[in-house]
Amino acid sequence: ATAALVTIGAAIAQPASSVIFWGGALQDPARLGPNRGTSNQSIRGVLMRLGPEGLPGMLMWAVFAGVVAVVGFRLARRAYAAGDSITEVAAVGLMACLLSPVAWIHHFHWVVVVILAILGADPLRDRRRLLAAGAITAWFLCRLPWWGISWLANGWSPEWFGRVLQNADLVGALL
């Protein structure tokens, strides 16, 4: 109901923009930019940069996505059974990023929920929670994928380290 109300409200407030979006831009796959670019930190995006193309690449994506889905939904189910709704939402949110064909860097806002899940209700009870939350916060605030682009563009060695940095949001989300 909210989505319908907002869509209708936008059409009333900006009819020309709504026609442009719903009548053409929405159906234009090129408007998203290159899915192979660093900004796409989903499993598929990383495999498009690193893995084989065509059917082998699609099969790798299906296998990796299947494994992440099984592990992720198991974690979400365990959190649900324990009454830990924050961890449950965090797991499903990260899976939305990892399993989607396209997950732009800004889609990883789910990391905020992950940090809250790690901190728990009483983060001072276990200092390891504070350290883990701090490390994840630093990991995602540093924008490591852009460091990876710079590393690769400058031709620094080893190249694999630049590739790890370039795909750091996926690595961080999997961890």
Return d(Cα 47, Cα 31) in angstroms, integer.
Answer: 21
pLDDT digits (tens, 9 = 90+) for 25-68: 767 766 666 788 999 999 999 999 998 999 999 999 999 999 99
* Residue 20 confidence class, pLDDT cut points 50, 70, 90: confident
The reply to whether the predicted model has a pTM over 0.95 is no
User: How many other CB atoms sit within 10 Å of the CB of residue 148?
Assistant: 19
In the predicted model, what is the mean pLDDT of the chain?
Answer: 93
Return d(Cα 124, Cα 56) in angstroms, integer.
Answer: 47
Of 95, 129, 122, which is closest to residue 110 (Cα–Cα)? 95
Mean pLDDT on 95-111: 94
Return d(Cα 156, Cα 137) in angstroms, integer.
Answer: 26
